[in-house]
Amino acid sequence: MSKIFAVANQKGGVGKTTTCVNLSASLVANKRRVLLIDLDPQGNATMGSGVDKSELQLSSYDVLASLLPPRKAIVPTTSGYDLMPANIDLSAAEVELLEMDGRESRLRQALEQISDDYDYIIIDCPPSLNMLTVNALCAAGGVLIPMQCEYYALEGLSSLIDTINQVQQAANPNLKIEGILRTMYDPRNSLTSDVSDQLNEYFGDRVYRTCIPRNVRLAEAPSFGKPALEYDRSSKGAIAYLALAGEITRRHAAAHQNSNNSNSGP
């Protein structure tokens, strides 16, 4: 199982950034070493981690466009995870990358230099299937797909899955769907449970058991530059992301155990 996750869904507003920031903080609370990479020119993960995007000296733009050694762009956060921040400069990389050699694998090359420093690397993707998202999919071993359980959500999922399949065939055979995360979940809504049933039918155990409820603390925390765990640790949102971190680390421990057992042989 991979420890590099691309958090992707080309739909905006489904909870990608909220998931990246809160999952990173929750994995730290589970004593894991975590790097969060902001790969969205909007810089929401950067701001939500308490780092001012307008004052960046170096950012993920420099790593992708100029092959800056990634450690130079990484900053610590008060939540205990490291951050490779981003701002609007990154929108230039989207265009510049198109002209470059190995344009899909620039991030992968960069992460090879630092992957031993971390237990988990989480990549916050922009809301489109562009060259930045393709870089994240080439660098990652797993895709975490946050989605709201509403009708059109499933429609959007098929183009994301097509892109994942293309990247798998062309550049990254190890890539797989790590998990589908139901966000802004409201079990009282009947459409939510219909879509949720369809997801379970199609993706089976790749749908995380943990659901993230709609919770105002999750929406408020970014304006304080904090994950919900720091802003209000007893909120339902903070607790749900801790549960997700627990589910992910347990899955990894179980997969590790299985591969050790099969390696040791009869």
Point out which residues bind ligand ADP (CB under 6 A). Answer: 12-18, 44, 127, 183-184, 212, 214-215, 218-219, 222, 237
Q: Which member of 11, 16, 106, 226 binds Mg ion (CB under 5 A)? A: 16
Position 17 contacts Mg ion (CB under 5 A): yes
Cβ–Cβ < 8 Å for 164, 49:
no
Tell me the number of residues near Mg ion by CB under 5 A.
3
Q: In sequence order, what are the residues at sequence separation of 6 or more whose Cβ sits closer than 8 angstroms to the Cβ of residue 214?
A: 184, 185, 186
Cα separation of 76 and 92, whole Å?
25
Give which of ligand ADP, Mg ion, none residue 215 binds (C-beta under 5 to 8 Å, depending on kind): ligand ADP
Minimum distance from residue 139 beta carbon to Mg ion (Å): 18
Strands in the chain per DSSP E: 4-7, 34-38, 75-76, 82-84, 120-124, 142-148, 176-185, 207-213
Minimum distance from residue 16 beta carbon to Mg ion (Å): 5
Residue number, 227 or 237, with CB nearest to ligand ADP: 237
Neighbours of 95 (CB within 10 A): 11
Query: Which residues, listed in sequence order, are joined to residue 4 by a DSSP beta bridge?
Result: 121
Site string for Mg ion, 30-49 (x = CB under 5 A): --------------x-----
Of 93, 18, 23, which is closest to residue 246 (Cα–Cα)?
A: 23
Minimum distance from residue 12 beta carbon to Mg ion (Å): 7
Position 196 contacts Mg ion (CB under 5 A): no
Q: What are phi and psi of 196, to 5 degrees?
A: -60, -40
Residue number, 42 or 215, with CB nearest to Mg ion: 42
Residues that bind Mg ion (CB under 5 A): 16-17, 44
